[in-house]
Amino acid sequence: MNLVKILGEFLRSLGEATLFLFTMVRALPAALLRPRLVVQQIYMVGMLSLIIITISGSFIGAVLALQGYRTLVQFGASSSLGALVAFSVMRELGPVMTGLLYAGRAGSSLAAEVGLMKATDQLSGMEMMAVDPIKRVIAPRFLAGIIAMPLLTAIFSLMAIGVAGGYLIGVVVLGVDDGSYWSQIHTGLHPHDVVETLIKSLVFGVAVNWIALYQGYHAAPTSEGVSRATTSTVVLSSLTVLALDFVLTAFMFR
Amino acid sequence: MTSDGQEILVRVRGLRFAFGPRLIYDGIDIDIPRGKVTAIMGPSGTGKTTLLRLIGGQWRPQAGSIEFDGVDVHQQSRRQLFELRKRMGMLFQNGALLTDLTVFENVAFPLREHSGLPDSMIRDIVLMKLEAVGLRGAAQLYPEQISGGMARRVALARAVALEPAMVMYDEPFTGQDPISMGVLMRLVRTLNEALGLTSILVSHDVQEVLSISDYVYVVAGGKVLERGTPEAIRDSQSPMVRQFLDGKPDGPVPFNYKTERDYATDLLGGAA
């Protein structure tokens, strides 16, 4: 009986979230008409996430290079280090780690911001001024998040493979040949790998921002409600990113 | 028209509204005359704010109707409802200012969204509205830099920015010091006269409300207990209205929250 109730509740909120997604998508043209708001939000969720993204990218790339080198050198294949780092980052770690970090950095703040706007009657106030909060507040944030995610993923991957991560450790510290590091990446990576990254990051962008905005918009208008919304945003979107990554990889596996 | 020949702007008929099992309104009728300040008074928790949200079409009643200027608020499409709301201003209890915008931009907000006026004209209108509430000097401050009373005045300037036909005030005097209370009272009255507004004032500050309103409704327990001019309300002999006006702690509205269990049993319950 209890299980039925829980399942019913889950299906109900899933339906509600789906309707919310449709409402957001329908309001996207309205967001395009307010480019200033969108740019402002890209700054809030994208630009302000840059530090955590670049630093994490560097460390992930560095660790990959260290571990990869240790294995490859046993087979005398350390010149393939570039390809190993690039494949790992482009296909998996780039979009997934960016998704997870974005959920923690930007998703939580989106949920808290919108939840607090609701708790302090700012959203009701807009409604009473005949301004649709979905068009004015939610849609610009949704669009900005979807634009920001692939860009952040690209920067993460660049840091991990090239600049301070794999390149620094592999070539500068461990002494892998500069030319073979890049040529392995050049011959190994195909355009479809880049497309795969792009698709993943777009899907994660939609998912994380959808979850964050839904949680914020439907938060109970109390301190506890807002705190619950931020926690659920991070937990749900992290799990969603990981699950979606598996599904997407399974589909695109060749 | 009412019996004494006044034109009615908002007509509430047979309104019934419940939050789950909790009945807030049980078929009430209220008329808000045009051009007047009408107060809705009642103890906390009687759903005075709810009434404003129902009039604004944010919530739907289970039964009954609310007409604004002859149009049934709850029979409108979303677009039509938004058109209606441009003619209603609402002042939320905490002001509900947008915290990421300055005072100036908050007042400009409805104008930028709806009026399509050029920036220079919007600037003039905003400065005029801010001057009317005495806060032109605070135009560049952010909401967190001003006091609660000032925030309500900014919200009032914003509520009248689009020259609405009606302004709804939700507990405008709660938690205000005597000076800002006096300022707000004067503003409610002068704006009503100067802009030809109709005002609905929801409050439980008895003396303040009775001194500035033209007509008063006292609601409690989902019903209208009393209606009339402030003088008539002051002379009311209804025990419940008396308890409310005189601030008696016990009476028809009991001091103790309703409970099934008797006090002694409750106390000894743990030992038994």
Residue A140 belongs to some domain of the structure: yes
Tell me what pLDDT residue B201 has: 92
In a domain, A158, yes or no: yes
pTM, entire model: 0.86
> Min CA distance, A243 vs chain B (Å)?
36
A15 part of a folded domain: no
Specify if A26 maps to a domain: no
Which residue numbers in chain A have pLDDT < 50? Answer: none
Percentage of chain B exceeding pLDDT 70 = 96
pLDDT of B94: 83
A124 CB neighbours in chain B (<8 A) are 53, 58, 92, 96
Per DSSP, what are the bridge partners of residue B40? B202, B217
Looking at this predicted complex, what is its ipTM? 0.82
Which of the four pLDDT bands, split at 50, 70 and 90, describes residue B2? low
Flag whether pLDDT at B225 surpasses 80.
Answer: yes
In this predicted structure, what is the pLDDT of residue B270? 63
Give me the residue from B53, B99, B114 closest to A130, CB to CB: B114
pLDDT score recorded for residue B243: 84
pLDDT at B1 over 60: no
Q: What is the mean pLDDT of chain B?
A: 87
In a domain, A104, yes or no: yes
Evaluate whether residue A66 is within a structural domain.
yes
pLDDT the model gives residue A64: 92
Tell me, what's the pLDDT at A29? Answer: 93
Q: Tell me: the pLDDT tens digits for A74-123?
A: 998 888 888 999 999 998 999 999 999 999 999 999 999 999 999 999 99
Q: Chain A contact for B111, CB < 8 A? A: no
The count of structural domains within chain A is 1
**Closest-CA distance of chain A to residue B228, Å:** 29
* Predicted local confidence at residue B184, as pLDDT: 86
Residue at A206 is within a domain = yes
Q: Which domain holds residue A45?
A: 34-249
The reply to whether B136 touches chain A by the CB within 8 Å rule is: no
Which pLDDT value is given to residue B115? 87
pLDDT band at B195 (very low <50, low <70, confident <90, very high): confident
A122–B83 CB contact, under 8 Å: no
Instruction: Please check the confidence at residue B5 and state whether its pLDDT lies above 70.
Output: no
- Does the pLDDT value for residue B91 go beyond 60? yes
CB contact under 8 A, B99 and A120: yes
Asked if the Cβ–Cβ distance from A128 to B98 is below 8 Å, we say no
Residue A143 counted as domain residue:
yes
Q: What's the whole-number mean pLDDT along residues B80-92?
A: 90
